[in-house]
Structure 1
Amino acid sequence: MLLVEPTRLCSREVPVGSNIIMDRLKTSARLMIVSDLDHTMVDHHDSENLSLLRFNALWEANYRHDSLLVFSTGRSRTLYLELRKEKPMLTPDITIMSVGTEITYGNSMVPDEGWVEVLNQKWDRNIVTEETSKFPELTPQSETEQRPHKASFYVEKDKAQAVTKALSERLEKRGLDVKIIYSGGIDLDILPQGAGKGQALAYLLKKFKTEGKLPTNTLVCGDSGNDAELFSIPEVHGVMVSNAQEELLQWHAANAKDNPKIIHATERCAGGIIQAIGYFKLGPSLSPRDISDFKDYNLENVNPDYEVVKFYLFYERWRRAEVDHSEMYIASLKAHSHLSGVYIHPSGNELPLCDCINALRSHYGDKQGKQFRVWVDRVFHSQIGTGTWLVKFNKWELCGDKRQCCTTTAILSSKDANASDGFTWMHVHQTKSEDQGKDQSTWLF
């Protein structure tokens, strides 16, 4: 039995700033997706989060290992982290927050100090506070949304244009060079002139180009006025999701209606992003969640990441009774598990893999009719021998309002280096994530 101590082989000592990304990718990213969150990647009208989960499965199965995921949001760090607790979101490689005024890297969200220096030019937040206090039409947003390089307010739509013009003139007279963005029919943000979602993206692209790792393709995704700048960056592909707000559609009609690289999707939110990947032929666009039965589907590029996504998708469907209660499935799982394979439970208990698969029988349909979802995040693989792969990922379960996560290390093998005959699970080791102290006695795989 091949035993691996999970943390030593899979830990990633993260360097400072963008080197986190540069060091992970040996070459240019195959695809970089830069997406707004609210009503773009995240559909707040989709209680089951199906479009988001479809995107998650597609990304982790086909793109995570050689591409970059960037979330570009108007939310502050505080509200961004709140959203992550509410929705089944993936961990991005780069996070752009507070309408392009903050750039951070990796899971630990290391800030980009170079971007801070850029934004300090002709900016004084004290002057902004002083001048905005003279406008009774402006209602300050919550304290969490007031950032070093962003002042945020609410203003009624019929007063926005006049306030923006007068405020801009006042700040210019005070020696500041600012940008005022109005979006969502109510939100007014004041930023340094060099800030914004578009400028933050341009800064990143320039950085990657300097390193000789400019992404092969970049797809920007948005739904509102503060996303317009993303679509202004030359050479990027762009998708306005079907539920895009009128302010963004009007900007497109006035500025980019003849640009063939920008489309208005017919699907909402993350579904529109998947649609754009296929439309522009940027890579695989069939989410594993859209495959009803994997035994009838032949995957062209077999990889261990896809195997992990496929297994946990089956696991979800089995417990939701969305596949047939057939012994054939159990037999197939056992055929792809090594006879001496071991599963180490988060509790520390060690069990034969085949016993764990046998135990699945009694759990068929135990989550039927419940809001039960399973997804994986940060799936990374490395080949550790001929036909042998080490895969590390976070496995999440959602049942009602209860979420649980385990850091998982798996060893997969195949008869040949190309894994054309599929994978055999050799070893699975799960440990509780740092923020998951809840009872996991009923945890399976």
Structure 2
Amino acid sequence: MDRLKDSARLMIVSDLDHTMVDHHDPENLSLLRFNALWEAHYRHDSLLVFSTGRSRTLYLELRKEKPMLTPDITIMSVGTEITYGKSMVPDDGWVEILNHKWDRSIVTEETSKFAELKLQSETEQRPHKASFYVDKDKAQAVTKALSERLEKRGLDVKIIYSGGIDLDILPQGAGKGQALAYLLKKFKNEGKLPGNTLVCGDSGNDAELFSIPDVHGVMVSNAQEELLQWHAKNAKGNPKIIHATERCAGGIIQAIGHFKLGPNLSPRDILDFKDYDLENVNPNYEVVKFYLFYEKWRRAEVDNSEMYVASLRAHCYPSGVYVHPSGTEQTLSDCINTLRSHYGDKQGKQFRVWVDKILHTKISTDTWLVKFNKWEISGEEWQSCLTTAILSSKGQSASDGFIWMHVHQTWSEGCQGKIQSSFLF
């Protein structure tokens, strides 16, 4: 919560499965479109929050399977856990709130009396969440009877049924909506309430997010019937909640445009980088633009043109140095020569590049220090490096464009030794 000195321009709070992440999109294009948009235009002054029903274990597994960004805040286990940053530091104040009228041993005892409940995996059983599977036709009766039993035992709980099969038992004060309300209260107390908040979901356990006052909301086009029914009953006349016509992350991008929350054209949707909007130029955009071109060049999705090569040279300081993650050094000019010889070497292959956590710092009137994680997927191989770059403006301001002065990369943990021969920049 301390990354930004001032209030976030925009805070996006998104469910993951079938909302931010489209499991029916093998190329992950909608997710990659969002990634490029966020890093280019929002990372530097906005907050990204993932709110998922997944436990920490399953959340980390998903991160290994999909090209996801690193959020500023992660809400897990249906709003029973709040953590901050890449290190996922827990919020102890939230834990204290959830302990009120909650005793997991009593929940375990009472649920064991219902043969209809099938316990989910051990990873999904958390200190403030008990998770089961139950058939849809039995869910309502089980929920009613179980609520009465737990109330008689002195507990104050919430039972959430979602996805047509998942039943979660939480403290009454828990849930995705309450976790968000708690965060917004903390921001308000610090005088840093976000300028706008956009919540995004697809299923029943996301409904609470849309109940928070003053937020914008998007139900993605593939939203489940349970969420659509909730909306029809509770929020049909609310102009701040829309049902997108695009799936998953594409629907989130659509909502940003619909509510006029900021730029909503992903750099991935720009066909010719010569046409990008100079008004939106910043070091983050420059980094995103370069690595998108790098991906398209190797996939032969741009012309093998001398114009592009000349443009690359014009954006690199002639005697600038690139330090490869292996430790070898070469000039940026030599890097361009190497890249030129690899045109189309990934054509027709599963090859994607994205950047994460771009943070820039102005170190002089016309120079920026930029740090980010660069990722490549090539077939089944993933690799990542920590990148530090020095960029200088071409003219009097950033709107004149940038010159890459120096680039230094080191392998991320677990990536050293993987397909180094094809890792060019």
Q: TM-score range by the shorter chain?
A: over 0.9
CA RMSD of aligned residues (A): 0.7
Q: Provide the residue aligned with 2:14 in structure 1.
A: 35
Alignment of 1:319-334 (within 5 A): 319-334=298-313
4+ residue stretches of structure 1 with deviation over 3 A?
A: none
The answer to whether residue 408 in structure 2 is matched with residue 443 in structure 1 is: no
Contact preservation (8 Å) 2:215, 2:240? yes
Letter in 2 for 1:409: T
Letter in 2 for 1:202: A
Q: Provide the residue aligned with 1:178 in structure 2.
A: 157
Aligned mates of 2:26, 2:154 — CA distance in 1: 47
The answer to whether residue 195 in structure 2 is matched with residue 216 in structure 1 is: yes
Please report how far the alpha carbon of residue 261 of structure 1 lies from its aligned counterpart in structure 2 after TM superposition.
Answer: 0.2
SS of the equivalent of 1:115 reads helix
Please report how far the alpha carbon of residue 300 of structure 1 lies from its aligned counterpart in structure 2 after TM superposition.
Answer: 1.3
SS of the equivalent of 1:395 reads strand
Aligned mates of 2:237, 2:417 — CA distance in 1: 53
SS of the equivalent of 1:198 reads helix
Alignment of 1:129-278 (within 5 A): 129-278=108-257
Please report how far the alpha carbon of residue 421 of structure 1 lies from its aligned counterpart in structure 2 after TM superposition.
Answer: 1.8
Contact preservation (8 Å) 1:347, 1:441? no
Q: Deviations over 1:132-155 (max 9, x none)?
A: 000000000000000000000000
Contact preservation (8 Å) 1:316, 1:373? yes
Q: Number of residue pairs matched? A: 424
Q: Which runs of 5+ in 2 are unaligned?
A: none
The answer to whether residue 74 in structure 2 is matched with residue 95 in structure 1 is: yes
Aligned mates of 2:229, 2:289 — CA distance in 1: 41
Q: Provide the residue aligned with 1:395 in structure 2.
A: 374
Contact preservation (8 Å) 2:395, 2:401? no
Aligned mates of 1:81, 1:403 — CA distance in 2: 15
Please report how far the alpha carbon of residue 217 of structure 1 lies from its aligned counterpart in structure 2 after TM superposition.
Answer: 0.1
Q: Provide the residue aligned with 1:293 in structure 2.
A: 272
Contact preservation (8 Å) 1:302, 1:418? no
Aligned mates of 1:179, 1:299 — CA distance in 2: 50
The answer to whether residue 78 in structure 2 is matched with residue 77 in structure 1 is: no
SS of the equivalent of 2:242 reads strand
Aligned pair partner of 1:115 in 94, 107, 115: 94
Q: Deviations over 1:253-275 (max 9, x none)?
A: 00000000000000000000000
SS of the equivalent of 2:421 reads coil
TM-score calculated relative to the size of structure 2: 0.99
Letter in 2 for 1:69: L
Contact preservation (8 Å) 2:279, 2:399? no
Please report how far the alpha carbon of residue 302 of structure 1 lies from its aligned counterpart in structure 2 after TM superposition.
Answer: 1.4
The answer to whether residue 348 in structure 2 is matched with residue 369 in structure 1 is: yes
Contact preservation (8 Å) 2:282, 2:399? no
Please report how far the alpha carbon of residue 417 of structure 1 lies from its aligned counterpart in structure 2 after TM superposition.
Answer: 4.8
Aligned pair partner of 2:322 in 323, 343, 354: 343
TM-score calculated relative to the size of structure 1: 0.94
Q: Deviations over 1:92-125 (max 9, x none)?
A: 0000000000000000000000000000000000
Q: Which runs of 5+ in 1 are unaligned?
A: 1-20
Aligned mates of 1:270, 1:298 — CA distance in 2: 23
Contact preservation (8 Å) 1:404, 1:438? no
Please report how far the alpha carbon of residue 327 of structure 1 lies from its aligned counterpart in structure 2 after TM superposition.
Answer: 1.4
